[in-house]
Amino acid sequence: MATARLLLLLMVAAAAGSYFCTGEEVIMGYGDELAEEPAPKPAAPYCGSVRMALEAHNIIGWKTVSADCADYVADYMTGERYQRDSDVVINEAVAYAESLKLSGKGKEIWVFDVDETALSTLPYQANHGYGAQPYDRTSFLRYVAGGSAPALQGTLRLYRRLLQLGIKPVFLTDRTEDQRAVTAHNLVQQGYCSWEKLLLQPFGLQTSTQAFKTGERQKLVSAGYVIIGNIGDQWSDILGSPEGCRTFKFPNPMYYVA
């Protein structure tokens, strides 16, 4: 029986090989396709597929929004879809939090990223191409120093619900220690009125955001906290053990932080 199966396999392989397995065709890479086919399809559906691939962590390490998707990303960020995508994520996070039976010991925490998660830098991005222009550290730090970043309303809704439920918020950001005062001020002014911890990067730290955040979460767990949830707009916010009991990727097609 096994021999018969093998024979069948070999016959099928041979038959298929002549058709399927020549392996001679030229495969185009992602960049090639863009270069050789500048406008074969409308930009929006294609850019929607790219956005999906960013959100699902398939496209990584990118520097700027590509020129052919710049208008799409600007429309997305300022339109209903960003709101709706965000609301679906937040609704899921709220439903999850409400489903939990807490220990009542006060050690359950929820980790929030800051930029593009708790606070929006959209007023800044609007003047800098919504990610289509290269990152300009100086002007971005100036925006942060202004302390005027508005709350993302969905995240604020999650934050308030967590407080009601007795889950304590921890803000964990790659903003640096020298930005502590302005960050605290900005958070409070926007309605994030209390927190268990506000953790910022030491100034001049030579590591990736993901390594920094993973290390900080490890310290929290070692200190007896239970990370019930973890939400951020970057995969570097939510990858790396201990990542938290559940993680939530908040939408952001404008920039990538490793």
Give residues in contact with a second copy (CB under 8 A). Answer: 5, 8-9, 12-13, 16-17, 19-21, 23, 25, 27-31, 33, 41, 45-46, 48-50, 52-53, 55-60, 80-81, 84-85, 87-89, 91-95, 98, 156-157, 160-161, 163-164, 181, 184-185, 188-191, 193, 241, 246-249, 251
Of the pair 127, 218, the CB lying nearest a second copy is at 218
In angstroms, what is the minimal distance from the CB of 37 to a second copy? 12
In angstroms, what is the minimal distance from the CB of 45 to a second copy? 6
Find the helix or strand (DSSP H, E) in which 212 lies. helix 209-222
Give the integer Cα–Cα distance in Å for 176 and 162: 26
Of the pair 42, 224, the CB lying nearest a second copy is at 42
Neighbouring C-beta atoms of residue 237, cutoff 10 Å: 31
Neighbouring C-beta atoms of residue 121, cutoff 10 Å: 19
CA-based nearest residue to 125, from 76, 168, 179 = 76
Q: Are 233 and 250 in contact (CB under 8 A)?
A: yes
Q: Are 67 and 132 in contact (CB under 8 A)?
A: yes
Of the pair 158, 172, the CB lying nearest a second copy is at 158
In angstroms, what is the minimal distance from the CB of 127 to a second copy? 25
CA-based nearest residue to 230, from 217, 244, 240, 219 = 244
Of the pair 128, 199, the CB lying nearest a second copy is at 199
In angstroms, what is the minimal distance from the CB of 39 to a second copy? 15
In angstroms, what is the minimal distance from the CB of 110 to a second copy? 14
